Amino acid sequence: MAVLSEEQTMLRDAAKSWVSEKSPVTAFRKLRDSGNADGFDRTAWSEMAQMGWAGILIPEEFGGSGLGYLTLGLVLEETGRTLTASPLVSTALTAATALLLGGNDAQKKAWLPKIAEGKAIATLAVDEAAHHAPARIALKATKSGTGWVLSGKKTFVLDGGAADLVIVAARTSGKSGDTSGITLFLVDGNAKGLSRQKLKSVDSRGVANLSFDNVEAGADAVLGSVDHGFGILEATLDRARAGLAAEMLGSATQAFETTLDYLKTRVQFGQVIGTFQSLQHRAAKMYTDLELTRSCVEAALSAIDNNSNDVAQLVSLAKAKANEVYHLVSNEMVQMHGGIGMTDAHDAGLYLKRARAAEATFGSAAYHRDRYASLLEY
Amino acid sequence: MAVLSEEQTMLRDAAKSWVSEKSPVTAFRKLRDSGNADGFDRTAWSEMAQMGWAGILIPEEFGGSGLGYLTLGLVLEETGRTLTASPLVSTALTAATALLLGGNDAQKKAWLPKIAEGKAIATLAVDEAAHHAPARIALKATKSGTGWVLSGKKTFVLDGGAADLVIVAARTSGKSGDTSGITLFLVDGNAKGLSRQKLKSVDSRGVANLSFDNVEAGADAVLGSVDHGFGILEATLDRARAGLAAEMLGSATQAFETTLDYLKTRVQFGQVIGTFQSLQHRAAKMYTDLELTRSCVEAALSAIDNNSNDVAQLVSLAKAKANEVYHLVSNEMVQMHGGIGMTDAHDAGLYLKRARAAEATFGSAAYHRDRYASLLEY
Amino acid sequence: MSDLETFRSETRAWLEANCPPSMRGSGASAIAEEGDSPIWGGRRAKWTNPDGKLWLDRMAGKGWTAPTWPKEYGGGGLSSAEARVLQQELNRIKARPPLLSFGIWMLGPVLLEYANEEQKREHLPKIARGEIRWCQGYSEPGAGSDLASLRTKCEDKGDHFLINGQKIWTSYANYADWIFCLVRTDTSKKHEGISFILFDMTTPGVEARPIKLISGNSPFCETFFTDVKVPKANLVGKLNGGWEIAKRLLQYERQNISAGGFGGGSGYDLEHAAKDHVGTENGKLADGDLRARITQHKMEARAFALTVRRLEEEAKAKKGPSPAVSIVKYAAAKVNQDRTELLVEALGHQGLGWEGEGFSADEIAATRGWLRAKGNSIEGGTSEVNLNVVAKRVLGLLDHQ
Amino acid sequence: MSDLETFRSETRAWLEANCPPSMRGSGASAIAEEGDSPIWGGRRAKWTNPDGKLWLDRMAGKGWTAPTWPKEYGGGGLSSAEARVLQQELNRIKARPPLLSFGIWMLGPVLLEYANEEQKREHLPKIARGEIRWCQGYSEPGAGSDLASLRTKCEDKGDHFLINGQKIWTSYANYADWIFCLVRTDTSKKHEGISFILFDMTTPGVEARPIKLISGNSPFCETFFTDVKVPKANLVGKLNGGWEIAKRLLQYERQNISAGGFGGGSGYDLEHAAKDHVGTENGKLADGDLRARITQHKMEARAFALTVRRLEEEAKAKKGPSPAVSIVKYAAAKVNQDRTELLVEALGHQGLGWEGEGFSADEIAATRGWLRAKGNSIEGGTSEVNLNVVAKRVLGLLDHQ
């Protein structure tokens, strides 16, 4: 655990207790079984917003606390522990970041206060296929009069079904795969011509496929500058990846601790199974991986707060490690629980499903290994 | 273990007993410490030849027994168990195969009987750099009169220092990397202009770098047909890889058994260490890998004997698995022996060193994974 | 022409004539997950497709649902060589298995070995004809890996046995007609207090509750026994002699797994899924990292298949199983789990759908198959227990003191 | 300007003026393998390069060979913050360590904690000045992982102790002047029968025989004690109270490893070696399989380095080591073994030379370093023991009954 300021410690502890009281895993299970179409609980979200979590990144002038990414990471780690499904990632982390990095004053005034209050759900729409690929943007934005018209599709958009604001990465010149020629647009979630298909994903989070059929956007809808949106997009994604990695670290840590408790109580062959050395060594290795991953996640978040020049490297490191450790721990959680871990009534399956969904979001481990190697030029 | 014919069983048992009497690991250690420049023991080799091992692939008409590759694999597995260093791989396996696949009657008459008798050491010279790459042939052969002149270099040629016959893959047209334009030549080991640099490799086997400075070769020196040598070369290499995989399987099996014996005798914390479950599970996994590898090696050798159409696939499978299992077992041999395994006086280091040298010979695991994938067209 | 070749040509001709077209083509493994598949037979079989019944009856008529069992018990009386030819010919036309049956895979072999003549004549033909569907009453909530600690009580009431207790992981107990069950007939000993008994699932006091798995399917049940009266004639082997039978039956279960490894899930081919979603660069998968791991898996899967074949040949030659069979269950689970993980990874988000719009049937099957496969290293003996067995029985390592 | 910044600028200036040019530039870790390197100091130091002596004396003069030790014992009396600044400045100019010393890394800290005033004044300054070179007498042929089972006998002969027995893996015992040694002073108990004692290696009856490793180097010895007379004043701490000291010293040893992880072997950079020998295709390593594994390793190495830094910061903040330090030795060994394996793989046959023509010095160093690294998971506590410790002390799992 990083060395925290008093403010950070208080917020972390507040998150810990709220999550255990108001949002245990059973709450997520109920949400899942209720077939809630949003994929999150709006009452819980407004409570989170009241505690100031939606505005952790947002400066005070826009109604937030501006505490930064390491602080938001602390909260995400706690909500991750109980698989809390909320717009923290889509709205408070990703969309808020895009507005902060690329928005002009009017755009910030229009959206940041609403986000901080928890009144607006916002999200970033990037990918157009099954795998994360930020430069593979084909969704077309063409000039029409003073404004623009958007046509194309976006896939697996987090909270895309509930979003009031969709920040869309569109192609304004060049071809899919080019990093230049990408422009970000602010599009109203209910804009004419925008149809949203809510998906039933394995981890029951609210994701949607969006299709844009000549959706109109005014000149003032452009976030940042035309054709040069990729810089903001990548910077936004890196912050989203680091925050998601923190959430995954929390989930993996809880999955590990739950499993460790089981190892200490389940008896077979007249022994608590935690006394079997092969399980002990596997547990010790998981603990080691969790500690290594924590260092990477905290380093990435701090680097973002300090505007270090190695943010990209550290973020790909953090996301890759978080993917690997959550992958390992979620598999071991099922295996070490044995048959009971295979039942839907047990939590192991929930952690396993969330793990794979989070692994695939904003880049798989292989994606970030490739990126890391490319950043190091080999 | 494959189901063997009576003849095969007899030969295997003969090999077992000769190896344990005449060529235990101590013999290889003595060879190493003697600084023997050939990298093998000529007396031992003539004994092996007298037992008919040098002629297992060679038809009776040329003084061999023509028993085939699975049979030679049985012998290689036994010699591999004690790290016996001999020209079996270079001469009886690789060079004999090249002559059988590509040689005309005169060439076969000239060399096969000598090889079967153990009177001639022969080898194949392919690679020109640190990594195995059969198509990367730059060594040039240019026509001169009725014959040819060869210039260039070959690296890490097995028994290249002692070889009476060097079968050289040379470039007669096209550029390095092309599979066409490669021609095989029979070159006398003492040919004028051929200089040989014997190398001191980590596993003390006899390897050498050869450099060709306008070495003359007659028209009758061409093995197979001009510019179309790659087919024979790859077929020869596949047979060499399968045989080497059998030798590696033998080495890995012995390394495992020696380690297993140690687990049953070494006492720490008042326990034979073999009672510790984490070591038991690691041992059980090694045993599993050894069994899987055995299936691949035997399947590859049988496929060669049966001229199946999936020889290339099965050989890359066998070599990759043999590399992986010998890599794992040789590391575990050191680790499970603890400090004593780190001493030069113990055999663990010898198996470890041989493992890496054999892994790098005729293609690493990564090389064969890539080849396997390419053969399956993905 | 050798006898075997004659047999092959006759078999081929018969199958051509008798295997209904709708029973040809793959899908058997996928079906295996569905409890109500006609191919499982039994009293309550729903013949959604009449060809299924036709195919079963024709094959049962020749005794080919249990090819190597003696003819007098409803089997085909084939040699193992002939049985292999039959299987090859079935594969050739992609015929669906005429009958999926724990009776044939697991119970039959032990009845042939341990049951009395009366029991054999009573049960084996009905198994072979698919008239009675069986389930396995082994694991209990407190007795998983440590099966011998089972507590389901079986009391001798003079003219009958009285059974009370609970089983778990009883496959398709909710569809089964009869159960072969391990019960405790002596509480003073552990292994020597276990008996092997058969009874009808319609007996009063038997209740089977399906367990929902993380994959969404319910192939297993919790099964409760409350004062279940069982005729004494239903005891197989000696009283308190059930553990030997239990172990032997587990061997057959593992060998049965070994025969094909774990299948199930999507038929979606791994490298094609990867090509579709990851793309290629001059013929190679664009993601070199994924390509390497896919290849590592495909090599291991091939090595596993070659090993199963080799062990069969050796067993045939040596007239007895090679010690190496004990690695098969462990390896089979690993291979299937790696395959399903890689398939989901290759499919990206498309491989993470639960149901509904936006996902193809193959994609959903990939997701469900990946989740279902997590059980492969748990069911029928955990991988940890498999490795213990290899370490102790094969490698001769001792228990920790 | 903060005090720390003042200290930094003064330090930088002093180093500029006092670090001889030949003592700058890398290579320290490679040197660490050579027993006769001047940088180890000691009575028998051979000053092949006089600058080495000069550099040592200048640094020792300021107490900067042991920066955080109290001044009165020859240390620099620096705060840990200042010590970090000093190290940063030394790294900045790639200065070689002025002194490699088990006395500074391991013995010094425990003497400061457990020795009496007389022992501190006698030994610490000589350690700091590099006058006396120490070796560690811990492991025995029968006492490796199970260190507490050591049997080297130490008898109380009234006016002196008499020591008989054998040690193994005594680092550079053949070059050392003194040894800190674990001996058995009570055979009736295991842990409570061990004492911690110091003595001069020139005492009659002491013999050190170098052990040749698979890497060809001999950094360790077998050391034999035959009727070695040791003054009673050389006992550190209480009689039979040595185990506590022994464990603490191992902590320092592991922390010392944690400081930098295992180095050694070739300075050859992994991805550049791979580029040279495997080649690239549009900027990426041509072998995507190797590239993925190299990256996995580099990420783990980076994660390890970040963890070491984090644990230091936490220890500073919490005024005590985090429990997580127990993972460091295990992780350090794995990282270095992966690195050296990958380097050898990347170099292909060029990475498999033993000596002589055909191989560069860097290539030979890669081979030797790969072999030497195999010991990382054995020396100073095997990885198996490390994992046991994590499982029991950190995770609270119990011993097998």
pLDDT tens digits for range D139-158: 999 888 889 999 999 999 99
User: Is the CB of residue D292 less than 8 Å away from at least one CB of chain C?
Assistant: yes
Q: DSSP of C65-131, one letter per residue?
A: TSTTS-GGGT-----HHHHHHHHHHHHHTTBPPS---HIIIIIHHHHHHHS-HHHHHHHHHHHHTT-
Beta-ladder partners of C280:
C285
**What is the structure's pLDDT at D400?**
78
**Structure confidence by residue, pLDDT tens digits, D309-345:** 898 888 878 766 677 777 988 999 999 999 999 999 9
| Contact (Cβ atoms closer than 8 angstroms) between residue C168 and residue C140 | yes
Q: Which H or E run includes C167?
A: strand C160-171
Average pLDDT score over residue span C354-364: 94
- Residues of D annotated as catalytic (active site), given as ranges: 253
D 167-206 near B (Cβ less than 8 A): 168-169
B-chain CB neighbours of A281 within 8 Å are: 278
Least Cα distance to C344 among C329, C362, C357, C356 occurs for C362
C400 touches chain D (CB under 8 A): yes
Tokens standing for residue C138: 């082994």
* B269 contact C CB<8A: no
So what's the pLDDT on residue C28?
Answer: 42
DSSP string, A313-351: HHHHHHHHHHHHHHHHHHHHHHHHHGGGGGBTTSTHHHH
Selected residue of A131, A157, A378 to mutate for chain C interface (largest C Cβ count, 10 A): A131
| pLDDT of C29 over the 70 cut | no
* Cβ distance of D384 and B276 shorter than 8 Å: yes
pLDDT, position A174: 97
- What local confidence, expressed as pLDDT, does residue C267 receive? 63
Task: Check C374 against A352: CB less than 8 A apart.
Answer: yes
Note the pLDDT of residue D261.
Answer: 63
Taking the CA of residue A113 and the nearest CA in chain C, the distance in Å comes to 32
Question: Could you tell me which residues come within 8 angstroms of residue A163 by beta carbon, excluding any fewer than 6 positions away?
Answer: A90, A91, A121, A122, A123, A157, A189
D398 has which bridge partners? none
> Residue A194: its pLDDT value, please?
98
pLDDT digits (tens, 9 = 90+) for B211-243: 999 999 999 999 999 999 999 999 999 999 999
- Distance between CA atoms of B233 and B216, rounded to whole angstroms? 21
Contact check, Cβ <8 Å, B353/D213: no
What's the pLDDT at C36?
41
Question: Helix, strand, or coil here: A47?
Answer: helix
**Cβ-Cβ contacts under 8 Å, B199 against chain D:** 353, 356-359
Contact A94, A238 (CB under 8 A): no
For B256, nearest residue in chain C (alpha carbons): C395
Q: In whole angstroms, what separates CA D393 from the centre of its chain?
A: 24
Judge whether C180 and C200 are in contact, CB under 8 Å.
Answer: no
CB burial readout D272-305, b (16+ within 10 A) else e: ebbbebbeeeeebbbbbbbbbbbbbbbbbbbbbb
Give the separation between CA A62 and CA A68, rounded to whole angstroms.
14
Cβ atoms of C328 and C258 within 8 Å: the answer is: yes
Q: Which of A270, A335, A360 sits opposite C349 (nearest CB)?
A: A360
Rounded distance between C-alpha atoms, residue C360 and residue C353, angstroms: 9
Nearest CA in chain C to D287: C288
Output DSSP code: residue D143: B
What's residue C31's pLDDT? 41
State which residues of chain A have pLDDT below 50. Answer: none
Chains that touch A (3 or more CB pairs under 8 A): B, C, D
**Residue B299: its chain C contacts at CB < 8 A?**
306, 310
pLDDT for B86 beyond 60: yes
Which residues in chain B are contacts of C392 at CB distance < 8 A? Answer: 280
Q: Give dist(CA A75, CA A63) in Å, integer.
A: 18
Q: How many CB atoms lie within 10 A of CB C132?
A: 21
Backbone angles phi, psi at C265, to 5 degrees: 70, -155
B280: nearest Cα among C304, C396, A338, D400: C396
Residue D259: the pLDDT is 54
Most confidently predicted of A300-304, B37-41, C27-31: A300-304
Q: Do A280 and D396 touch (CB under 8 A)?
A: no
DSSP string, D227-291: EEEEEGGGEESSTT-HHHHHHHHHHHHHHHHHHH----S----HHHHHHHHH-EETTEES-HHHH
Does the beta carbon of D383 lie under 8 angstroms from any beta carbon of chain B?
Answer: yes
The answer to whether the CB atoms of B344 and D214 lie below 8 A apart is yes
Chain C residues closer than 8 Å to D288 by CB: 284, 288-289, 291-292
Instruction: Indicate the burial class of B113 (C-beta count within 10 angstroms; 0-12, 13-18, 19 or more).
Output: middle
Q: Where are the beta strands (DSSP E) in chain B?
A: 122-125, 140-144, 147-158, 165-171, 182-188, 194-201, 207-217, 222-223, 267-268, 271-272
The pLDDT assigned to D38 comes to 55
For residue D326, the model assigns a pLDDT of 78
Has residue C34 got a pLDDT over 70?
no
Task: Spot the catalytic one: C89, C253, C312, C363.
Answer: C253
> Which residue in the set B202, B278, B348 is minimally distant from D354, CB to CB?
B202
Q: What is the C-alpha to C-alpha distance for residues A277 and B269, in angstroms, rounded to an integer?
A: 14
Nearest to D236 by CA among D321, D158, D152, D154: D154
How many contacts does B have with D, using Cβ atoms within 8 A?
115
Percent of chain D with pLDDT over 70: 93
Whether the predicted pLDDT of C257 surpasses 80: no
Q: Would an 8 Å CB–CB cutoff place D397 in contact with chain B?
A: no
Does residue B4 sit at the C interface (CB-CB below 8 Å)? no
Report the residue of chain C nearest D291, measured CA to CA.
C289
CA separation for the pair B318, B292 (Å, rounded): 10
Q: Chain A interface, mutation test: which of C349, C357, C376, C392, most A Cβ atoms within 10 Å?
A: C349
Q: What is the pLDDT of residue C35?
A: 40
Instruction: State the Cα–Cα distance between residues D338 and C10, nearest whole angstrom.
Output: 59
Please check whether residue C302 touches B, CB under 8 A.
yes
| Token output for B164 | 């009476």
Examine the residue annotation and report whether C253 is marked as an active-site residue of this protein: yes
Nearest chain C residue to B292 by CA: give it: C303
Residue D28 has pLDDT above 50, yes or no: no
- In eight-state DSSP terms, residue C398 is P
> What is the CB neighbour count within 10 angstroms for residue B24?
16
Q: Judge contact between B80 and B249, C-beta under 8 A.
A: yes
Which two tokens mark A72?
A: 């938001």
Residues of A in contact with D285 (CB under 8 A): 373, 378
Q: What is the ipTM of this complex?
A: 0.93
The length of chain B is 378
Asked if D337 and D369 touch (Cβ cutoff 8 Å), the reply is no
Interface test with A, best of C218, C287, C374, C392 (most A CBs within 10 A): C374
Closest Cα to residue A181, out of A138, A146, A228?
Answer: A228
Interface contact D398-A274, CB threshold 8 A: yes
> What would the mean pLDDT of B88-104 be, rounded to a whole number?
98
Would the CA dihedral through B314, B320, B324, B326 be positive or negative? positive
Q: How far does A52 lie from chain C, in Å, by closest CA?
A: 32
Q: What tokens does C128 get?
A: 């072979």
Chains with 3 or more CB pairs under 8 A to chain C:
A, B, D
Q: Rounded distance, CA B361 to CA B157, Å?
A: 10
DSSP class of residue C150 equals -
Q: How do residues A198-235 score in pLDDT, each as one tens digit? A: 999 999 999 999 999 999 999 999 999 999 999 999 99
- Cβ of B373 and C400 within 8 Å? no
Tell whether A130 is within 8 A of chain C (Cβ).
yes
The set of residues, in sequence order, having a beta carbon less than 8 Å from that of B68 and lying 6+ positions away, is: B56, B57, B304, B305
C121 to chain A, any CB pair closer than 8 A? The answer is: no
Chain B residues with CB inside 8 Å of A277's CB?
Answer: 276-278
C77 CB within 8 Å of a chain A CB = no
Q: What's the CA gap between C373 and D308, in Å, rounded?
A: 38
pLDDT exceeds cutoff 80 at C32: no
Please judge whether C352 and A360 are an interchain contact, meaning their C-beta atoms are less than 8 angstroms apart.
yes
Is the pLDDT assigned to residue B69 strictly greater than 60?
yes
pLDDT at C400: 78
Cα–Cα distance measured from residue B131 to residue B140, given in angstroms and rounded to the nearest whole number: 19
Provide the H-helix boundaries in A82-157. Answer: 96-102, 105-117
Those chains having 3 or more beta-carbon pairs within 8 angstroms of chain D are A, B, C
Say yes or no: A153 contacts chain C, CB-CB below 8 A. no
Contacts of A276 in chain B (CB under 8 A): 277
Q: CA nearest B283 in A: which residue?
A: A278
Q: Is residue D401 less than 8 Å (CB to CB) from chain C?
A: no
pLDDT per residue over C324-338, tens digit each?
Answer: 777 988 999 999 999
Q: Name the residue with higher pLDDT: D126 or C264.
A: D126
Lowest mean pLDDT among C88-102, D24-38, D170-184: D24-38
Instruction: Tell whether A273 is within 8 A of chain D (Cβ).
Output: no
Each residue's pLDDT tens digit, B269-280: 889 999 999 999
Torsion angles phi and psi, residue C225, rounded to 5: -120, 120
* Distance from C-alpha of C196 to C-alpha of C184, rounded to nearest angstrom: 9
Take residue C201 and report the two structure tokens written for it. Answer: 């699932």
